[in-house]
Structure 1
Amino acid sequence: MSESAFIFSLFMVGVTAIGLYRKFNPQGLLMLSGLLMLTAAFFMQVHPVTPDKPTGTVTFDIIRMVEETFLSNLARAGLMIMTIGGYVAFMNHIKATNALVYISMKPLGLFRNYPYLAATIVIPIGQLLFITTPSAAGLGLLLVASVYPVLVSLGVSRFTALSVIAAATLFDQGPGSANTAMAAGLIGQSNVEYFIVHQLPLVIPTSLVIMILFYFSNRYFDKRDRKKRQELSSQASGDLAESSVEKPDVPLFFALLPILPLALLIVFSPFVGLFQPVVALGTTTAMLFSLFLSLTFVLLHTRNLRTTFDAFGSFWKGMGNVFTSVVTLIVASEVFSKGLIHLGFIDFLVSYSSRIGLSGLTIAAVFALIIFGAAMLMGSGNAAFFSFGPLLPGIATQLGLPVFALVLPLQLAASMGRAASPIAGIIVAIAGVAGVSPVELARRNTFPLVGGIIFLILYHLITF
């Protein structure tokens, strides 16, 4: 393992972090850093820099990896994120969001005096939904379309509303999670058994602690921001609050449209099982179905084909805006992540930690912190855990630990680190749609998540 490659990767991480702090264009900065690390990985011969379809020369191979990253993201998550972003813009255009806020404010009026309590309750509700919709960015955007305007209307800031939405996707848990599937395979259990026997007993108390930390953290940051930036606070909580008071000039049943995709995904989820195995519904399909149904309602309401087509245009504009601000950043962050992996950054951390003579329990704690930080750097819980995962059974055996004692905290720490990463898909997506800085949102999440990961490690080491 090349120490010079590790030092160079640390240098690139530092330069990139400084550039992001100084508000350089994140897409360009992450892409350049990733390309430089991939180039360095080729010359240092740490890992082979080879795309799925090699071109025959390393120069074009590196660019080909960027192309394949674009294609894989567009085919996998990019279209889904763009569709949800377009749907959010469409809901705003037809004032369905206003209808949702107007309807919701009546039963939720009692929370006007306790807005941060209402925001915190979103975390466990969102975690339940995450089990049935195991896509962090997808669920985050669905909650931005449905829950976010209600929370802002209750009086919390945009950052608080977004932070609890991100917190709803903290734990990759449930049988449908890719990280759960890998962790269960490493332990030799089924997904369901791993979820019930190992995940839930650790996730439930950690979630309660995280809810408390997010409650007080968001109150503190909002209070500080009101003092420093009165204009921003007024924009964040005042605009939608005013719109929630007035009855929108659209039928009130339009309030159902923003939550329709989420309802469809839950009803047709394999974990609900009402229509299984007859119907298999994906997020993009649910969004497009809801879009076409909503267009029908708009046409019936306006009785004007031109107005309906103009409303349809807002969907395409929303898709374009999300591609520009979100999808491109996800691609750039994945190139950055590939650079770190090919330079052996994760491999070096694992091998060095196992050589310095720490006890088994201490190394388990150190590994959990390392993978938490790795997920922050790479913006992906899957990438961080999938890099570590295959090594864990052997390391656990060497340390004399049960395999689950090492796999479980690392699997959960990886998804927690994602919510504190300014380049993670979930953070970029919800911040982009809401029009706030992903760096600021990640910074807002960092304090309660650090407290959460410390509690998770200590609780696990005491109870396993």
Structure 2
Amino acid sequence: MLLLLGGIVVLITVYCLVKQYESRMVLFCAGVVLAFMAGDFMGPFKAFSHAMLETKLFESIVSVMGFAMVMKVTECDKHLINLLIKPLKKAGPLLIPATTLVTLFINTSITSSAGCSAAVGSILIPLLMAAGIHPAIAAAAIYAGTYGAIFNPGYAQVAIVVNVAKSTPVAVVANHFTALLTAGVIGAFSLLVVAYLRKENKGYELSAEKVAEDVTGAFKVNLLRAFMPLLPIVILVTGSMNVIAAFKPLQISHAMIIGVFCAFIVTRVNPAKISKEFWHGVGDSFGHVFGIIICALVFVGGMQSVGLIKALIDLMVANPSIAKISSAAGPFILGVMSGSGDAAAVAFNKAVTPEAVKFGLSAMDMGSMAAIGGALGRSMSPVAGGLIICAGLAGVSPMEVAKRNAPGMVLACVATLILLLYK
């Protein structure tokens, strides 16, 4: 009976997430209800305290988000985006997939899907529309590339997989690099096929007053500023590969701080302003990203109290094929419904992934699959914040954008599942 009641609470939780009630509130309250049902009155409080002590996750996440805010205030992100516009203009028939892949690349440093959508979409969506591409395809081309953050060793979802798999950030990224890149290529070219089939790859006429200044080529790109958003990633990769031995001892947060100082030297923006924005990003990351992680862990603790996690793991142990499929399908479907892949991926990776060896899988593969699956699902969700931003910039309905991204995201999820869990 307790399992049945627990299952009902979980379904209600999913419904509330789909209806876009505040995710932290929903997850936390559901965890408390589940624990109290099982008579574990201290469970939620212990889970909360344990989550607050996740210092390794905290250090990586807050430094990355702080760095991202500095890139915004110094406009280094804008220089990187405009630098990449030039080759895009020469892409010809491949303009649509090229835009998606460029966004995928930019998202490695502008890790917020909504932030990346706003920064990149405001420049590239008018460019695509000016080239005759239908507005819905233009918006979809941007949002189809907003899961490139999983290439970033400091990204929150990567940090969670690192923690569960007892590995290193670069090792986790290297492990899913090929699968994630394949997913990006599939999503990009699937959108091109959709555009051709719908005859939306050319012929759209954009009124002259809607063409942004940046699209006309008026923006002057500074190569040094354009490189700044990529500097921490270069430091981490070259250090871990021992290309530059001096970088090897540096942690993710160290690379981000070096990036902040280099951005100041290059741009000479008021240091007080840079400091303020860095700590603003730190605070936002704690309240939003880390807040979701904390509340998701309280929810997972509640499910453990009523025995749902043990029942799920026992089922997966008896049927290993279910474990493989559920690690992709579960976060993917919830990502589509809720518009956020984070809550589902965090909950799955904290609850199920530590037991991966029982299913004949590695925690690293299973964790990456859950993270990527959630991100792919979110990338075709009509209620995702970033997709709504792209649709608004293009002047179309979010559902029209989601429909065009759907085939590519489904195919990309299947391909990722095969490459990561059936290798």
Shift of 1:440: 5.6
Q: Does 1:89 align with 2:73?
A: yes
Counterpart for residue 384 of structure 1 = 348
Deviations 1:20-66 (A, max 9, x none): 1xxxxx5xx223323322321331237652556xxxxxxxx96x789
Q: After superposition, give the CA deviation of every residue in 1:196-231 in whole Å (9 maximum; x if it has no partner).
A: 8x757766655543443344468899969x99xx9x
1:30-429 matches, within 5 Å, as: 30-45=23-38, 49=43, 51=45, 68=52, 75-91=59-75, 97=78, 104-111=84-91, 114-122=94-102, 137=111, 151-152=124-125, 154-155=127-128, 159-160=139-140, 162-169=142-149, 178=159, 206=183, 208-216=185-193, 238=210, 240=212, 242-248=213-219, 252=220, 254-267=222-235, 269=237, 270-278=239-247, 280=250, 282-296=254-268, 309=270, 313=273, 316=276, 320=280, 328-344=287-303, 348=308, 351-352=311-312, 354-355=314-315, 360-362=320-322, 364-373=324-333, 378-379=342-343, 381-394=345-358, 396=359, 403-404=360-361, 410-420=366-376
Aligned alpha-carbon RMSD (Å):
5.5
Between the aligned partners of 2:89 and 2:341, the Cα distance in structure 1 is 40
| Contact 2:60-2:159 at 8 Å conserved across structures | no
**Residues 228 and 262 of structure 2 are in contact (CA less than 8 Å); yes or no, is this contact kept in structure 1?**
yes
Using the alignment, how far apart are the partners of 1:259 and 1:145 within structure 2? 20
Query: Is the 8 Å Cα contact of residues 6 and 303 (structure 2) preserved in structure 1?
Result: yes
Q: In structure 2, what is the equivalent of residue 300 of structure 1? A: none
Alpha carbons 1:368, 1:457 under 8 Å: kept? yes
Distance 1:447 1:34, change over 3 A: same
Alignment CA distance shift 1:257-1:206 (3 Å): closer
Give the residue type in structure 1 aligned to 2:190.
L
- Give the aligned residue type for 1:167: Y
Pair 1:10 & 2:11 matched? yes
CA deviation digits over 1:299-346, x for unaligned, max 9?
Answer: xxxxxxxxx64x96488469748956x653334533442343122179
Could you give the per-residue CA deviations for residues 138-174 of structure 1, whole angstroms, max 9, x where no partner exists? 7x69977996666446426674454244232457999
Distance 1:283 1:433 in 2: 30
Written as runs of structure 1 = structure 2, the 5 A alignment for 1:429-440 is none
Task: Decide whether aligned partners of structure 1 residues 10 and 142 sit closer, same or farther in structure 2, where only a CA change above 3 A counts.
Answer: closer
Deviation at 1:413, TM superposition (A): 2.4
Distance 1:290 1:318, change over 3 A: same
Asked whether the equivalents of residues 32 and 302 of structure 2 are also in contact (C-alpha less than 8 Å), the reply is no
CA distance in 2, matches of 1:106, 1:277: 35
Q: Is the 8 A contact 1:30 1:332 kept in 2?
A: no
Mark the runs of 5 or more structure 1 residues left unpaired by the alignment. 21-25, 53-60, 297-307, 397-402
Say which SS state the counterpart of residue 261 (structure 1) adopts. Answer: helix
Larger radius of gyration: 1
The 3-state SS of whatever aligns with 1:351 is helix
Equivalent position SS for 2:246: coil
User: What is the deviation of 1:14?
Assistant: 0.7
1:199/1:368 Cα in 2 relative to 1: closer, same or farther (>3 Å)? same
Name the structure 2 match of 1:56: none
Task: Give 1:416 shift.
Answer: 1.6
What's the TM-score, normalizing by structure 2? 0.66
The residue type paired with residue 111 of structure 2 is A
Distance 1:367 1:321, change over 3 A: closer
Aligned residue-pair number? 394
Summarize the Cα distance change of 1:7–1:389 in structure 2 as closer, same or farther, 3 Å threshold.
same
Distance 2:200 2:124 in 1: 16
Partner SS state of residue 379, structure 1? helix
Quick check: 2:104–2:148 contact (8 Å CA) kept in 1? yes
Contact preservation (8 Å) 2:327, 2:370: no
Counterparts of 2:182 and 2:111 in 1: how far apart (Å)?
24
Between the aligned partners of 1:79 and 1:319, the Cα distance in structure 2 is 9
Q: Which amino acid aligns with 1:245?
A: T
Among residues 370, 393, 412, which one is paired with 1:452 in the alignment? Answer: 412
Taking a change above 3 Å as real, the CA distance of residues 327 and 14 of structure 1, as seen in their structure-2 partners, is same
Q: Which runs of 5+ in 2 are unaligned?
A: 130-134
